[in-house]
Structure 1
Amino acid sequence: MNTSSAAARVAVIGLGSMGLGMARSLLKAGFDVSGCDVAQAAVTRLAEAGGRGATSPAQAAQDASVVVSVVVNAAQTEQVLFGPGGAAETMAPGAVFVSSATMDPEKAKDFGRRLEATGRLYLDAPMSGGAVRAAEGSLVFLASGSEAAFAKARPALDAMAGKVYELGPEAGQGAAFKMINQLLAGVHIAAASEAITFAARQGLDIRKVYEVITASAGNSWMFENRVPHVLDGDYTPRSSVEIFVKDLGIVQDMARSARFPVPLAAAALQMFLATAGAGMGADDDASVARLYARISGTPLPDDEK
């Protein structure tokens, strides 16, 4: 790949654990990568990895054929794209904006319409997978957009993804798929937290419970992935409680608009809200187990962290 050509330039906006991993995967694939973040330390880490730091989305997007936005929500995406110093100020005609934030599908549709009216392309592409998979270039993208948007983004997506699902021709469809995933993920985390703490309350060896359940029909990906955080008493955030306060809140808004009942998601949301309200919002989402433990007076490993 000729990294001196404009076609090989990719901008990454948002260099947290996910965005920096994605930027590094792009660099490994031979792309010329620029990036920006509100945290200067993240920009420095990109530079140390071989990328080019920028002071704003507009500067990062200059001469890039693909702009990948790895921010938290719709409000941040709108600021990155259309706010002062936003990427839309400098994106070349025909360049594609790849939006990876989890958001209400209606917001994704709106952003797509607004950007495409300027002669640029928009790919609604929320992702699934953690920081390790981002660094490995093995994320899963749940993407929707025009054929032109997919074609322009494809080389960069291939560098960042193990799997790209093409879910429809319009922005918003990828976001809707992601919200179904987040509904299940949030419910499963809450259920796993409830189950492992209930097991502790029964006086069971919870490490043995983990061994048994992961070999049994009651297992889930979230139980298998999150319960070790509880067993180790390690609530360093891989994905925070506040992420599911946001995402399950979006599910509630969507369901209310559709007049569709989602009682399990609603119950899970209340547990994440209570956990955040107890001061654990920035901690790992397995902290829901700590809330159950504190309510019931049930000890968990190293629950002083």
Structure 2
Amino acid sequence: MRVAFVGVGAMGMPMARLVMRRHPVTVFDPDSARTAELAAEGAGVAGSAAEAVRGADTAVVMVATPAQLEQALFGADGVHGGLAAHTTVVLMSSVGVDCVVDAGLRLEALGARVVDAPVTGGAVRAVTGELTVLAGAAPEVLDEVRPLLELMAARIAHCGDRVGDGQAVKLVNQLLCSVHLAAAGEALQFARALGLDPEQVLATIESGAASSFMLSDRGPRMLKDGTTPVRSAIDIFVKDSSLVLAAAREAGAVTPLTEQAAELFSRASHQGLGRDDDSSVIRMFQKEPH
């Protein structure tokens, strides 16, 4: 199987590496330093998304925002320019239901098959290949790319037969992640305010009923002194919580906790933390100036 990989950022790069172990991969990303790193490991490098997809059996797209997805797929020299009738496009970005449904219809009109396949598990599990894929696609289309997805993920959850069903489940996931991340920062700063050693508190509570992935994964980074390498930025949660709230309004769902978390991430971004690691949200609970 010839694979094109469009978008090799914090998540896409380790995912592409895993696919490269089994299949020939051609990558494209606007950041040439990233593609050069993968080229040194054996990947082909294309000058555009269209060039990367040309001749590929499957095109994986892993970008961060709806605007980036639009540009990657339908911009000048986008994926659309390299599609063949047999190409399957796997949309692994978390960009909301409406965005992916619209993209899917436009790609299918060009003859492509589409799998809606956002992931959860973060950069750590992207490296180990233990992501969870939340797939929305016709069963027969999903089955064709399942062996490829299994190189990147420990679990492939078929969330529904429609493009967009995976995104809908991802929104539920991101609602929880947003609230859990904010709660982890609030709790660990609360431990400090009580005069406790927050590292000891984290080690004590993360194995109990209060545990969450966000607490265990982000907690140690929250407690580090100095700059934390960016694995997932605050602005990603600004985007994701905004998508959740937009979908909630449309569905008539009541989401007060997400509203508070979204406001917190927005304030953090406006205070200059937007491109910092999302564990930096703990600073929003500190009394000293940010």
Indicate whether the TM-score tops 0.5: yes
Equivalent of 1:129 in 121, 129, 132: 121
Task: Identify the residue that residue 5 of structure 1 maps to in structure 2.
Answer: none
Deviation at 1:210, TM superposition (A): 1.0
Contact 1:10 1:67 (8 Å CA) reproduced = yes
Shift of 1:236: 2.0
2: CA distance, partners of 1:19 / 1:280: 23
Aligned to 2:150: 158
Q: Give the whole-Å Cα distance in 2 for the aligned partners of 1:75 and 1:297.
A: 36
Aligned: 1:107 with 2:106: no
SS at match of 1:187: helix
What are the superposed Cα offsets for residues 209-244 of structure 1, whole Å, 9 maximum, x if unpaired?
Answer: 112211332222211111101222253211111000
Q: Deviations over 1:123-165 (max 9, x none)?
A: 1000112333223332211011123421332232122221111
Q: TM-score, normalised by structure 1?
A: 0.91
Q: SS of 1:159's equivalent?
A: coil
Question: Quick one: which amino acid aligns to residue 155 of structure 1?
Answer: P
Unaligned runs of 5+ in 1: 1-7
Instruction: Name the count of aligned residue pairs.
Output: 289
What is the distance in 2 between the residues matched to 1:160 and 1:224? 22
For 1:197-208, what aligned pairs fall within 5 Å after superposition? 197-208=189-200
For structure 2, the residue ranges without an aligned partner over 5 or more in a row are none
How far residue 80 of structure 1 moved from its aligned partner, in angstroms, is 1.1
Matched, 1:172 2:164: yes
Report the secondary structure of 2:146's partner residue.
helix
Pick aligned residue for 1:282 from 253, 263, 275: 275
Contact (CA 8 Å) 2:123, 2:232: kept in 1 or not? no
1:117 is aligned to 2:109? yes
Matched, 1:149 2:141: yes
- TM-aligned CA deviation for residue 54 of structure 1: 0.5
- 2:261 maps to which residue? 268
Q: CA deviation at 1:94?
A: 2.2
The residue type equivalent to 2:183 in the other structure is A
Equivalent position to 2:62, from 65, 70, 81: 70
Q: CA deviation at 1:73?
A: 1.7
Q: Shift in Å at residue 66 of structure 1?
A: 0.5
Contact 1:121 1:148 (C-alpha < 8 Å) held by counterparts: no
1:60 counterpart residue number:
52
Q: 1:224 maps to what in 2? A: 216
Counterpart of 1:95 (choices 68, 83, 87) is: 87
Alpha-carbon separation, structure 2, partners of 1:147 and 1:216: 38
CA RMSD of aligned residues (A): 1.5
Q: Distance in 2 between matches of 1:139 and 1:199?
A: 31
Q: Report SS of the residue matched to 1:218.
A: coil
Instruction: Find the residue that maps to 2:149 and give its secondary structure.
Output: helix
Specify the alignment match of 1:22 in structure 2.
15
